[in-house]
Amino acid sequence: MPETGHSHYWRLKKEEPFISRGSMPDRDIKTELRRILERREGRDRAITGMELARMLGQRDDRGIRQVIRELIAEGLPVASCGAGYFLATSYAEAREYADSLKGRLIEDALRRRDFRRAADCHLRLATQRRLI
């Protein structure tokens, strides 16, 4: 079958068949997810969480994200980018992903600080209004 403009879809379909198990046990999901990700080496082979969820018979990618965290904790260098998840294959890819996590931590800390200030100001005003 010749490849058309849907080469990404063809590659997925050819290499990674859809797994249609209704309620796959967690360990099987982890095993299958590891198997899929081990063939996704490098940023150019990234796959989205929704694609992974579909392949593993999941409704959304929430559980996939949790299993990916577990795989990372077990020593599998799963990174992510705008295109999805992949295995880091070089120190440059690993460093880039680690730096993006650091950037998110900083953004989250700033958002937390700003939220606390806003809540403090808003709630103080709301409390004062009730007292008057």
Q: What is the pLDDT of residue 7?
A: 39
Strands (DSSP E) found in the chain: 78-81, 84-87
pLDDT over 70 (residue 26) = no
Q: What is the pLDDT of residue 25?
A: 58
Kindly state the average pLDDT of the residues 98-106.
93
- As a whole number, the mean pLDDT across the chain is 82
pLDDT over 70 (residue 102) = yes
Interatomic CA distance for residues 86 and 76, integer angstroms:
10
Flag whether the pTM goes above 0.75. no
DSSP β-bridge partners for residue 47:
85
